[in-house]
Amino acid sequence: MSANLPDLPVTEVAAAAAASATRLKPDAFEMLLEALLQIRLECHLWKAHFIHIMGHSFPQDSDNEYHDVWDLMLDRAIPKFSTENYTLFAPLFDTALKEARARLERLSTVYARVLPRHVQKRLAKATRQLEFSVASYRWIPARAATEDGDVLFSARFKAVIRLLRLIAHDADERLSAMVPEQN
């Protein structure tokens, strides 16, 4: 009996995960829950680092117009390019993103037996994209001499936020399908 869920888009995963979850051996089920939780938390760790660096300048959603913090970050929290901001956020793209990439890669390896193929492929692609984001962040100062620094800076933030949001939401959907909320 396979411990993997079928390869389905996130929108179709709920029914398949619920059906498959009942067929998993208890150890495999628990391992899959733990894997998805760790993947989800890894994305939120980077987000927390971003919010910490922004400090008091992080925008508030007092009108509750955003679905979640990821959306707020994309719409209102991307800083403008400056030498000071580049230096301020460098640890987020160097150290924090490298560590996130390595941990996601490790999670994919450690939980390879229980992670659905779709999730494994998404994590493999994500690790490549995160590696590119680390490298391209370093190029911004040199490229800003000939290109719009704000566009380059914004593109790096948006690419990482969208990617981590996608991974976190996918893990959330799968977790919700496997462990329905108790009322």
> Three-state DSSP class for 147?
coil
Query: Is residue 35 a contact partner of residue 170, using CB atoms and an 8 Å limit?
Result: no
pLDDT in tens for each of the 183 residues of the chain?
344 444 545 445 444 554 454 455 668 889 999 999 999 999 999 999 999 999 988 988 778 788 899 999 999 999 999 999 999 999 999 999 999 999 999 999 999 999 999 999 999 999 999 999 999 999 999 999 999 999 999 999 999 999 999 999 999 999 999 887 755
Q: By C-alpha distance, which of 44, 46, 3, 50 is closest to 22?
A: 3
Give the burial class of 157: count Cβ atoms within 10 A of its Cβ; 0-12 exposed, 13-18 middle, 19 or more buried: buried
In the chain, what is the straight-line distance between the N-terminal and C-terminal CA atoms, in Å? 32
Q: What is the pLDDT of residues 146-178, one digit of tens each?
A: 999 999 999 999 999 999 999 999 999 999 998
